[in-house]
Chains A and B, each alone.
Chain A
Amino acid sequence: MAKIRRREFAKRAASAALAGPLALAHLAQQTNETPRPGPKLKLSPDQEAAVKRAVERREQQLKKMRDLPLPYDLEPAFLFAAQPRPRGARRE
């Protein structure tokens, strides 16, 4: 299987989302995943164009963010904490 860079993948996935349920099903077939029920959302040609513009605008805006070199060990601004079982709780 040919390698695909994550930006390229994101672009393709965005196009697939725009193209609607058929494209999603096709994508799912390729990856041997069960397709999810098709969304009821149907876009008019005008809406498709508007969504495409919104995605393009976002891609432009994200460029500066994506170009920032981030230190390898920079963690995101949220913490996951494992929750211990409350003391005294009965074992299952």
Chain B
Amino acid sequence: MLSEDILYLSVHELGEQIRSRKISPVELTESYLARLEKLGPKLGAVAKLTPDLALEQARVAEKEIAAGHSRGPLHGIPYGAKDLLATRGIHTTWGAPPFKDQVFPFDATVIQRLREAGAVLAAKLAMIELAGGGGYNNGNASLQGPSRCPYNLEHWAGGSSSGPGAAVPSALVGFAIGSETLGSIITPSAFSGVSGLRPTYGRVSRHGAMALSWTMDKLGPMCRSAVDCGLVLNAIAGHDPHDRTSRHESFTWWPPSGSQSNDTKRAKPLAGKRLGVVRPDFHAPGGEEEIGAAFAAACDALKSLGAKLEETELPDFPYAAVATTLYTAEAASIFRPFIESGKVNELIDDTQKAGLISVLSLPATDYLDAMRIRVQIQESAAKLFEKYDALAAPSRTTAAPRLDVNFDASPAPPPGAFDKWNIIGMSNVAGLPAISIPCGFTKEENLPAGIQFVADALREDVCIECAIAYQAATEWHRKKPNV
């Protein structure tokens, strides 16, 4: 078995070692499988292990590499897929008891693309049931049970891509694929210390992924570094005839070379970058001052890297209402037979059940109004990116909650109270890319804080560039949990 230090390497580093034949894909896969088996249940990270498939794919990769045929940076790297991605002949539960026996006869396009890139599917990873489409009251709302933050097992990993949140920072896999409709990559990335990239809407095909919202669902990489996010996105992006919303624009990105000749560029890699800082009031209810302090320190670091920071505010829109109306209305249409048949009652979370049932009565006029306001939100976001290359904001205003906390227990804020800071709502409604990376830890509970960079549509490269510069100057993303 390979040492823990090797398993914690980034995809970029693992790929280099595989290509130079210092480590073998088969040995790497066996080591990750053993770790998944040992720590997966403790972390609540795994929906299903796929050892036979993984070892078969690893042997093929090993042979190809030995024959001098490299498929690129993911060749021979084991990964995990959120359990809403169809995998031929392997259970795909959508995290929900009513779908526990569901098996698809085909692979999702993302799974297929990763296979073509030589990556090795080691596990299907846990998730919140139905990606939390009806809302949910705590982190236990999953067929697989709660996923735990690897840095503090009493706390939630975040959702709905909870399994990837738990698995990636604890080195159970090389990387993972998550999905986001409204925060499901950014939130677990923030709560569990992951580098997670939510691509532009349409950048990655959703064919074979559970549909929650046709106009808001996105798939993206969850990794141990921003460089890895770029490498994985390279492999999964691009048009797919099976998904009419997938974009034709290509995405090709390569890590910056370590031997840049320009010393100034190395010292100030963000020189010339204009960042709009969206800073919530961390003293208000729903904020945590320690997370605010971590964000402030991250902003200082960005300044020292040459970025020009300016405080800014999001345009005034009811982001929460628009986003929720869009995805719940679409979810109601998608899951209507499931809800009306009574199968909805087999779900775990009562809030989710009530939420799904209630959206059947959402008026179509509200959905259409939300779709109209969406145009205004897109236009106003575009204006922001005339002024800034990217927006920087805390990924979440709090650290991960304890697993025994019910989200409904705390008094609900007045509707729209957080809209002026709701960058997750704004960017998801507008379909914009974002990356979340760790930027600190709370002192007593050792919980990660995250910073996110949001860029204009199709400018994932800008998000990644900001995150890489920050990670080159800091060590937060390299902190190992004690699992």
- Is A74 a contact of B366 with CB atoms below 8 Å? no
Contacts of A40 in B (CB 8 A): 340-342
Number of A-B contacts (CB under 8 A): 103
B341→A39 contact, CB < 8 A: yes
Verify A54–B375 contact, CB threshold 8 A. no
* Cβ–Cβ < 8 Å partners of A76 in chain B: 368, 371-372, 374-375
User: Which residue from chain A places its CB closest to the CB of B339 in the assembled complex?
Assistant: A41
The CA-CA distance from A65 to B318 in the complex, in Å, is: 6
Total chain B interface residues with beta-carbon distance under 8 A: 42
| B363 at interface, CB cutoff 8 A | yes
Judge whether B353 and A64 touch: CB under 8 Å.
Answer: no
* Other-chain contact of B378, A6, A39, A75, A77 (Cβ < 8 Å): A77
Given A17-B360, A62-B325, A77-B375 in contact, is the A41-B344 Cβ separation under 8 Å? yes
**B90 CB–A CB distance under 8 Å:** no
Contact of B374 among A6, A60, A77 (CB under 8 A): A77
- Chain B residues near A89: list those with CB within 8 A: none
B281-328 residues at the A interface, CB under 8 angstroms: 318, 320-322, 324-325
- On whether the beta carbons of B415 and A6 are closer than 8 Å, the reply is no
List, in ascending order, chain A residues with CB within 8 A of B357's CB.
41, 43, 47, 51, 54
A58 — nearest CB in chain B belongs to which residue?
Answer: B358
Contact with A along B334-374 (1 / 0, CB 8 A): 00000111101100001101110111111101101111111
A18 to B371, CA, bound (A): 26
Task: Let me know if B333 is at the binding interface, CB within 8 A.
Answer: no
Assess the B372–A74 pair: CB atoms within 8 A. yes
Instruction: Tell me whether B416 is interfacial, beta carbon within 8 Å.
Output: yes
Interface flags, A35-50, vs B, CB<8A=1, else 0: 0000111110001001
Which residues of chain A are within 8 angstroms of B324 by Cβ–Cβ distance?
58, 61
Pick the contact of A54: B342, B345, B355, B419 (CB < 8 A): B355
Q: Is the interface of B mostly helix, strand, loop or mixed?
A: helix
Q: Considering only CB atoms and an 8 Å cut-off, how many residues of chain A contact the other chain?
A: 34
- Collect the chain B residues with CB atoms within 8 Å of residue A28's CB: none
- Report whether B371 and A41 are in contact in the complex, using a CB–CB cutoff of 8 Å: no
Shortest beta-carbon distance, B314 to chain A, in Å?
14
CB pair A75 B372 closer than 8 Å: yes
Interface centre among B350, B363, B370 (most CB of A within 10 A): B363
CA distance A57 to B322 in the complex (A): 14
Contacts of B152 in A (CB 8 A): none
Give every chain A residue within 8 A of B341 (Cβ-Cβ).
Answer: 39-41
Q: Which listed residue (B321, B339, B342, B344) contacts A65, Cβ 8 A?
A: B321
* A70 surroundings in chain B (CB, below 8 A): 369, 372-373
Asked whether, in the complex, the Cβ of A50 is within 8 Å of the Cβ of B350, the reply is yes
Given known contacts A6-B363, A41-B340, A78 and B215 CB-to-CB distance under 8 angstroms = yes
Chain B's nearest CB lies how many Å from the CB of A79? 11
The answer to whether B371 touches A62 (Cβ under 8 A) is no
**CB-nearest residue of chain B to A6:** B365
Contacts A51-B358, A65-B321, A66-B369 aside, 15 further interface pairs with beta carbons under 8 A come to A6-B365, A9-B363, A13-B363, A41-B341, A47-B354, A50-B351, A54-B357, A55-B361, A58-B359, A61-B320, A65-B325, A70-B369, A76-B375, A78-B215, A78-B371
Residues of B participating in the A interface, judged by any CB pair closer than 8 Å: 135, 215, 318, 320-322, 324-325, 339-342, 344-345, 350-351, 353-355, 357-363, 365-366, 368-376, 378, 412, 415-416, 419
9 closest Cβ contacts across the A-B interface?
Answer: A76-B371, A50-B354, A14-B361, A54-B358, A39-B340, A10-B363, A65-B321, A77-B374, A64-B318
13 contacts between A and B (CB under 8 A): A10-B361, A40-B340, A41-B342, A41-B344, A50-B351, A50-B354, A51-B358, A57-B412, A61-B416, A62-B321, A62-B325, A64-B419, A68-B369
